[in-house]
Amino acid sequence: MKVVIILEHRFDRTPDGRVWTQTTFAYSFWLQYLKVFDRVCVVARIRDVPTVAADWQLADGDLVSFAAVPNYLGPLQYLRKARQVKQAVQNAVGHSDAVIVRVPSPLSRLLIPLLQWDNHPFAVEVVADPYDVFAPGSIDHPLRLFFRWLLPRNLRHSCVKAITAMYVTKSALQQRYPCPNLSMGISDVVLPAHSIVAAPRPQAQELDVVTLVFIGTMSQLYKAPDILIKAVAVCVKAGLNIQLLMLGDGQYRGQLEDLAKAENVSERVSFLGQLASGSAVQNQLDLADLFVLPSYQEGLPRAMVEAMARALPCIGSTVGGIPELLPPEDLVPPGDVDALARKIREIVTDPERMATMSARNLDKAKEYRDEVLQDRRTDFYRYVREQTEGWLLEQQGSRICFLTVDICQDRYLVDI
């Protein structure tokens, strides 16, 4: 049986037809589905490019193919291409396919009504919270309030109608978007053994220069990179010698660079752009003293788990699944510059506390080792396959029943 997976991610395709990703969802990611399904078809936005950088990773491969959705960026482009997008999504799903939708996603709003019309079963993997995505300060859009009302409503509907749901959090997303059928809390973070360091960081003396690191998209501001830059400026004014490494890219990068200049910290903030996942990111994490993610919204942040796997002390906000990773004393309210600055100063001036955080975070990260979670994911995929096969048998039985009735009626008419 083939599984069709719909997700909100942009891939690139080179002239030879190969599909590439710079960050997540490389070919190795899809192998977990092949433990249960015979083939994988990924439905996602794909941009055609002449070439990709040497450190990009292949996303397609043996038994893993892609159904291209016309590339779009933002609600306006989505609306302009809605008809073509809908047709591409509809064409990608066959009657006998199992379907898993990673939500929230604009593509799900096109596909799920079509599946419901045919009573075609589908599962959801809930990876983010649209209510927090459109929180004040997170996204600058004139329809922010409307989207904050509409998209959570759509997500709740999707979860209610799904045959099963897998959430990346243990409880946070489940509480807002419950599924009345079978549900599981299983992180989609995959930590291979080589990405986890062997021991916590040793306790050091108070740092002469503190290096912070941030990883997140700059296509929108829901990871709050602007809040972090302002907090760094507050710390510098208070006498801390701080450097900030910012990994990520997007349309707001120029605005953030201007903000660093306006706050007089441009020489202390290094914009490193989008780095390929793996060793390039791990090297930057290993150079840092503290990972900071003051997001307005999160599911379960992959970047934070990867930082914890490098035994890095972390600060996060009180949203989504972050409180499932960090204790209350390492959390700050989203959007609060002064609270974040105080927390940074409080931690980096206490070497003993940083050593304790390092050890604790490393132990926590080990819970997300691939071998720990893979069996539960396999159970989820197996349930999706079994439910789909059961539905197909019911459909087949109904067609046989209708055919028998038609034959009997024909015989009756002949006898008359």
The pLDDT value recorded for residue 234 is: 98
Q: How many domains does the chain have?
A: 2
Retrieve residue 293's tokens. Answer: 């993610």
Q: What is the pLDDT of residue 207?
A: 82
**Are residues 267 and 353 part of one domain?**
yes
Closest CA to 332 of 314, 353, 350, 307: 314
Entry field: residues in the chain: 416
The enclosing domain of 334 has a CATH number of 3.40.50.2000
- Which pair of structure tokens corresponds to residue 180? 């009345």
In a domain, 405, yes or no: no
**Does residue 22 lie in a domain region?**
yes
268 and 176 housed in the same domain: no
* 408 domain residue, yes or no: no
Do 252 and 359 lie in one domain? The reply is yes
My answer on whether 274 and 138 are in the same domain is: no
Q: Which residue has the tokens 């509480």?
A: 175
Stated as kind and residue range, the H or E segment containing 376 is helix 370-415
CB neighbours (10 Å) of residue 60?
20
64 shares its domain with 119: yes
Q: Are residues 117 and 152 in the same domain?
A: yes
Query: What confidence score (pLDDT) does residue 398 get?
Result: 64
Same domain, 162 and 257: no
Residue 258 lies in a domain: yes
Q: Is residue 85 part of a domain?
A: yes
pLDDT in tens, 109-155: 888 988 988 899 999 999 999 999 888 888 878 888 999 999 999 99
State pLDDT tens for residues 53-93: 988 999 999 999 999 999 888 777 888 888 898 899 989 99
Q: 10-residue block means of pLDDT along the chain (416 residues)?
A: 95 97 92 97 96 93 96 81 88 95 90 89 95 86 90 95 96 95 90 91 84 94 96 97 96 96 97 89 96 95 96 97 97 97 96 96 92 88 97 80 48 39
**Residue 361 shares a structural domain with residue 375:** no
What pLDDT does 413 receive? 35
Same domain? 139 vs 9: yes
DSSP output for 315-332: EEESSTTHHHHS-GGGEE
What is the extent of the structural domain holding 55? 2-188+370-400
**In terms of domains, do 326 and 227 share one?**
yes
Is the bond into 142 cis (omega within 30 degrees of 0)? no
* pLDDT at residue number 104: 93
- 183 & 233 share domain: no
**C-alpha Rg value of the chain to the nearest Å:** 24
* Euclidean distance between CA atoms 215 and 275, whole angstroms: 10
In a domain, 302, yes or no: yes
Q: What is the DSSP string of 357-368?
A: HHHHHHHHHGGG
Whether the upstream peptide bond of residue 104 has omega within 30° of 0, thus cis, is: yes
pLDDT score at 415: 41
